[in-house]
Chains A and B, each alone.
Chain A
Amino acid sequence: MTDTAAAVDSRTATAANGKVLLKVEGLVKHFPITRGVIQRTVGAVRAVDGVSFEVVTGETFGLVGESGCGKSTTGRTILQLYRPTAGHVWFDGVDLTRLKGNELRLMRRHMQMIFQDPYASLNPRMTINDIVGEPLLVHDIIPRSEIPGRVRELLRLVGLNPSLSNRYPHEFSGGQRQRIGVARAVALQPRLIICDEPISALDVSIQAQVVNLLEDLQDRFHLTYVFIAHDLSMVRHISDRVAVMYLGILVEMAERDEIYLHPLHPYTQALLSAVPVADPLVEEKRRRVILEGEVPSPINPPSGCRFRTRCPIAQERCAQEVPAWRELRPGHWVACHYAEGGGIM
């Protein structure tokens, strides 16, 4: 950790919550759209357009939103898998956006990722041994001779039989593959794991297994998760704090129970009401807000409030003025002009 001045600066604890591990500040990621033989830039997909939040050590930070809202891009940009267009990512006081080459590689062992698709994120030509052992080999943290033993330990940790370690990914089911992905992510004993929809490709009963595994590992190794998902009920289950993303920006952020019991932004309210509850009696009585249409294109987002085109309570003002990101209640942030009015519920 070289950047000591900044480290002290960002280690200021947030209200009684402990140490900030990850601080994202004004993160922007635009993907240029090019045209013609000289690849002239004619526009940009504004995938992430100014996102700021902090994640405290040991907590699970849920990031939810519809497909195309930029949540996965945010996750990847945090890890510098995409270089941000603007903004900063402070990890334990070090600004990752300024690191390059070996310095960045040294930081990477503290931050890992679990991917959505357990079928595409494991190299089909590598054995499980190689897949789980690769991070240990690359980062060279233990002698090579100890790697097989460590791999067996890791497989046992995630609930797989270590005797299967010479097999290839295709010999495993989706749930088992995701366990392999988890084993690979925890191999370096990272402090932060970005879980990018780790369970959405799995069967219901298997989802619960993987979520329970993630929770056990968190307790055991004091891990910090950024949990990206579109399944709001699972995010409620696993997260301590939740942020809702829409079209590249955050629209609401609060403690888990606060956001689920008192959602302030009309989009959050609509999202929550759209999630089916597994109880016919509850379903009968629920009020549902059905949003019209789909998420607009991030190439040319609506002026003012980005949600206004689908918002049932949008006013003239929403088209002109970008709503401020404000703390309406302690720890409860929202970007809506009319959040005080109770929204649409």
Chain B
Amino acid sequence: MAKPGIKEVPPTAKSRIVVAGPPGQLLVREIPDEFPPHACSSQVNGYNLKSSPRGQAGAEWLGPRHAGPRGRRFHRFGPSGGLTDQMATLRQASGPQMLRDLGSSPRVLDVTDLATQFKTPDGIVHAVNGVSFHLDQGETLGIVGESGCGKSVTVLSLLRLIPSPPGEIVRGRADFLGVDLLQMSQDEIRRVRGAQIGMVFQDPMTSFNPVLTMGRQLTEPLEIHLGMTKTQANERAAELLEMVGIANAADRLKDYPHQFSGGMRQRVMIAMGLSCTPQILIADEPTTALDVTIQAQIIELIKRLRDEIGMAIIWITHDLGIIAGLADRVMVMYGGYIIEQAPVKELYANPQHPYTIGLLGSLPRLDQQRERLTSIEGMPPILLEDPKYCPFAARCSFVQDRCRRENPPLMSVAPQHEIACWVDVRTGRLRA
């Protein structure tokens, strides 16, 4: 059971269980051997803690509905608690304490000036060039952009999943509940991944290990992050599969990934991403490989789970259609920069950046007929230098001299609506 770098409670540890929070305090429970089973039953954060007939400490998940308003989680780190100072702060900050401190919509994630580069034989590719954004509790943030615009690299950088070399996070801060993800040790970031920040990847066909059963792949994070025993993890895994709408869940755990269809695999992936009830779920084009009917099922599922669990979501996509019905706020990326961000209704009603306008125009609409699609000529750039010009200038139909000389910063054009463009598209002239 012991995984390198992770302190595990041996399966026979019968006496202690460490639970993070209620509000900002660690709760350590001593459970003596001779303790009568019923006496140590107590409900914490949605878990029913009790001892098994053999007197073994255990935790039973009662489902997200029991998990309090925001679905606080259950943590268990080795006998010593296994917490560094940093992690302890993080734990404390994640409690409802934080809710009180910051008012109704506290920041879960605050990214400042994040930049990631890749060293390639052709030179240094500037994949992400100083992006700053934030994510509030329970909020759904859509990141929209074409391939190579840096949207996936941004979130992979947050989770420190950029292969290095060739990749390197060159600067920036990413405060997750007050702790900088980019400064964490490997050990610490590993506890965040999967447990506090869940991830759903694009390709359900290649993201699973084909030689392990789905059950094994689902129970692994439960055992590692939540310290469940095999039996508990199996039960919980079956519940998770049921939660995402897979029939005969207990039997399907024994199946291998190839025995699931694409839509089913994506459901399992979502179950896995949510298995430790994370604060943030990062969904990287989770429906791109799926049919529309299955896509609708998955979106509906995520919406339902969002309401039940209350996690914040970062949804990466190139499909402006999906985001329209799902996100609260949208961030459009191009060439490794955020070029426009706004609340979802504002963005669609009043797009201001020529690229966003072009993207919306290039989309055929089911509910109306267009004579001709607006196409954005040319292709997205691969930036081998930090551009001193607007990265979209080469494809932009509003381009002015200044755009070729100076890279526009994000400027506010309306409340919460920012764009990086020198030109006012309504007049076609430079902004005053």
- Name the contact of B146 in the complex, choosing from A67, A176, A204, A270 (C-beta under 8 A): A204
Beyond the given A276-B325, A279-B348, please list 20 additional residue pairs across the A-B interface where CB-CB is below 8 A.
Answer: A204-B318, A206-B379, A208-B374, A208-B376, A211-B364, A230-B292, A232-B292, A234-B364, A273-B296, A274-B293, A274-B295, A277-B321, A277-B366, A277-B367, A278-B320, A278-B321, A279-B367, A288-B296, A288-B300, A291-B296
CB pair A66–B291 under 8 Å, yes or no, is yes
CB pair A280–B373 under 8 Å, yes or no, is no
A271 to B297, CA, bound (A): 12
CB contact list, B290-321 vs A, under 8 A: 291-297, 299-300, 318-321
Q: Does B372 touch A at the CB level, under 8 Å?
A: yes
Contacts known (A271-B292, A279-B324, A281-B345); A212 close to B319, Cβ less than 8 A: no
CB pair B372–A215 under 8 Å, yes or no, is yes
CB pair A290–B297 under 8 Å, yes or no, is yes
CB pair B324–A283 under 8 Å, yes or no, is yes
A45 to chain B minimum Cβ distance, whole angstroms, is: 16
CB contact list, A262-292 vs B, under 8 A: 270-284, 286, 288, 290-292
A310 to chain B minimum Cβ distance, whole angstroms, is: 9
Q: Does A146 touch B at the CB level, under 8 Å?
A: no
**Cβ proximity bits A290-330 to B, threshold 8 Å, 1 near / 0 not:** 11101000000000000000000000000000000000000
CB pair A276–B319 under 8 Å, yes or no, is yes
Contacts known (A66-B293, A291-B297); A272 close to B366, Cβ less than 8 A: yes
B342 to chain A minimum Cβ distance, whole angstroms, is: 11
Residues on A with beta carbons closer than 8 Å to the beta carbon of B300: 288, 290
CB contact list, B267-298 vs A, under 8 A: 291-297
Number of interface residues of A (CB under 8 A): 46
Number of interface residues of B (CB under 8 A): 46
Q: Does B147 touch A at the CB level, under 8 Å?
A: yes
CB closest chain-B residue, reference A206? B379
A278 to B293, CA, bound (A): 17
CB pair A209–B375 under 8 Å, yes or no, is yes
A290 to B359, CA, bound (A): 27
Q: Does A103 touch B at the CB level, under 8 Å?
A: no
Residues on B with beta carbons closer than 8 Å to the beta carbon of A175: 379
A291 to B374, CA, bound (A): 33
A257 to B367, CA, bound (A): 10
**Cβ proximity bits A240-253 to B, threshold 8 Å, 1 near / 0 not:** 00000000000000
Residues on A with beta carbons closer than 8 Å to the beta carbon of B370: 237
Residues on B with beta carbons closer than 8 Å to the beta carbon of A274: 292-293, 295-296
- Name the contact of A232 in the complex, choosing from B325, B345, B366, B377 (C-beta under 8 A): B366
A205 to B374, CA, bound (A): 8
Residues on A with beta carbons closer than 8 Å to the beta carbon of B184: none
A281 to B365, CA, bound (A): 14
Q: Does A222 touch B at the CB level, under 8 Å?
A: no
Q: Does B99 touch A at the CB level, under 8 Å?
A: no
CB pair A207–B324 under 8 Å, yes or no, is no
CB pair B374–A280 under 8 Å, yes or no, is no
A278 to B300, CA, bound (A): 17
CB pair A277–B294 under 8 Å, yes or no, is no
Residues on B with beta carbons closer than 8 Å to the beta carbon of A207: 362
List 21 interface pairs A-B (beta carbons < 8 Å), by A numbering.
A175-B379, A204-B320, A205-B375, A206-B146, A206-B379, A208-B375, A208-B376, A230-B291, A274-B292, A274-B293, A275-B321, A275-B366, A276-B299, A276-B325, A277-B366, A279-B324, A280-B345, A281-B345, A281-B349, A282-B367, A291-B293
Residues on B with beta carbons closer than 8 Å to the beta carbon of A203: 146-147, 318, 380
A236 to B297, CA, bound (A): 22
B206 to chain A minimum Cβ distance, whole angstroms, is: 16
